[in-house]
């Protein structure tokens, strides 16, 4: 009887330990969640605590991307500013060789394009389809974005 209680107690404690360990997200997972939710205070706190803004993440399983591209995709200008301040690499690519600048161009966001350009975004890289940011802008027909990119070629 005593042995049975001891085994049940040990098993319960073991399960509780594994459950609490499994539920604790890593800083990278927490940053991914905060970026996806455009949660500025949490993004800022995690970056100040040393979470790597350049760590690869997966939004779609098997396709690596970046926090910066994710924030640009969500048109979250303030999150992008925080990531850039934390030294996110503006020209880092995702699994399709797409940059944050290409994503901003595809989203048709001139303010985001301007911010990325002023932060050192390179207009020359080409994605898996062989298109650079200006080619994507021309496809989208956004005159304001074309005007921002054309002088940088």
Q: Using one digit for the tens of pLDDT, what is the confidence trace for 94-131?
A: 999 999 999 999 999 999 999 999 999 999 999 999 99
- Give pLDDT, residue 9: 46
Q: How far apart are CA 81 and CA 68, in angstroms?
A: 9
Below-50 pLDDT ranges, the chain: 2-3, 6, 8-9, 19-20
pTM comes to 0.83
Q: Output the pLDDT for position 152.
A: 86
CA distance 84 to 28: 16
- CATH fold of the domain at 26-152: 1.25.40
Instruction: Please state the domain extents for the chain.
Output: 26-152
Q: What pLDDT was estimated at residue 14? A: 54
Q: Is residue 58 packed enough to be buried (19+ CB in 10 Å), middle (13-18) or exposed (0-12)?
A: exposed
pLDDT of residue 24: 81
């Amino acid at each position: 009887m005593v042995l049975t209680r001891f085994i049940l107690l040990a098993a319960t404690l073991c399960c509780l330990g594994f459950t609490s360990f499994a539920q604790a997200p890593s800083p990278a997972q927490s940053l991914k969640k905060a970026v996806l939710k455009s949660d500025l205070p949490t993004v800022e706190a995690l970056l100040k605590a040393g979470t790597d803004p350049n760590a690869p993440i997966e939004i779609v399983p098997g396709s690596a991307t970046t926090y910066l591209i994710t924030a640009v995709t969500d048109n979250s200008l303030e999150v992008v500013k925080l990531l850039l301040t934390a030294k996110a690499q503006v020209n880092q690519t995702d699994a399709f060789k797409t940059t944050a600048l290409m994503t901003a161009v595809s989203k048709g966001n001139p303010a985001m394009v301007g911010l990325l350009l002023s932060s050192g975004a390179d207009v020359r890289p080409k994605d898996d389809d062989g298109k650079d940011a200006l080619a994507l802008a021309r496809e989208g027909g956004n005159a304001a974005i074309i005007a921002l990119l054309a002088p940088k070629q």
